[in-house]
Structure 1
Amino acid sequence: MKLTWNKNNNNNKKRSREAIASYPNLPFDQQDPSHDDMQLQNQEHAHSQHQDKPSADALDSDFKQLAQSFQAQGNKLAEDGKYREALGKWETALNLMPENAVLLEQKAQVLLELGDAWSALKAATRATELEPSWAEAWITLGRSQLNFGEPDSAIESFGRALAIKPDSVEAQDDRKTASHLIKKRKQLHSSGLSTDKNRYMVGDSTESS
């Protein structure tokens, strides 16, 4: 049956939905008998996908466990003196846990062993940013600064370490080394030799010439 305007209705409105429904043979009023089944299947499929998808907490836990495994492997390699191999393991762990201060501090130590003072300085700095109340991180930063030729900054870092851990023999000894290097620099400056060498590396002779 074709829908038409109701000419007898002075309001000129279309038929209501109830009026149309009184004609059971209208093609658009019939629903596909499989419609409900398809809708149910779609809902079940969506629910199944939701159940199969791992939660964010589960993924974080898996990443953490994997990172800890790489960290442990790196620790063993470092203990055996295999610093480059250890660094590779720790780099992998840091890709999974980039905000891990312990890994960054360990990385800085190994980089110092490998002679890369600048990279050690960056790693140690980040470790102190993440854990500003960790004395060992400040000690490693101070040593990185010393090896990079910045004894003034190193003294500040060792001072931060001693403020946190006053009985740290390492920080006390390293601060003395930094103070001696600054004294040596002043002596060279007064003798007119500072233009040839402005930075002093750990391992330089600390005896006055």
Structure 2
Amino acid sequence: MKYLIVGLGNIGPEYHETRHNIGFMILDAFAKASNVVFSDNRYGAVGTTSIKGRQLILLKPSTYMNLSGNAVRYWMQKEKIPLENVLILVDDLALPYGTLRLKSKGSDAGHNGLKHIAQILGTQNYARLRFGIGSEFSRGHQIDYVLNPFSSEELSEMDEHIKVAQDIIKSFCLAGIDITMNQFNKRK
């Protein structure tokens, strides 16, 4: 059984460890813990690992956030991965910092990466793990906020939140989305 785990972010050193790149950060930590090395491939950096007989394709799209759907569709088709085995890791302004919410479907909530994925796949019925980045910005400064690095206070708690995100990814692949939502969405 195969799974596609997609961390959303923007490529380039200027975006490294910005709030909008939390999907890349989670996937990097997951890969490091699994001794996975990413290689440049079509539409992104790709790595593979296995957990209890399940193969995980880890993808960091190289398409920029607002074209993420192209990478998701390509790797789903290439690896013959069904929609129910796709998990998107994404930042969420509507959640307080560090809050993790797994959803089996839903709106894009104004997120350009999720919007493009839904447009390309023709559905909003795909799993996403939303990582709360908070909304500590003044009116009209949302773009500056998401494209800036996390604060030192946020970074001091980051490892703990990313560890939980990794546990959610594993549970999604091993126990399924319903059990994983019941177990993890009750926290914080």
Give the TM bin, normalised by the shorter chain.
under 0.3
Which one has more relative contact order, counting CA pairs under 8 Å at least 6 apart?
A: 2
Instruction: Specify which structure has the higher proportion of strand.
Output: 2
Output the TM-score relative to the length of structure 2: 0.27
Instruction: Specify which structure has the higher proportion of helix.
Output: 1
**Structure ID, larger Rg:** 1
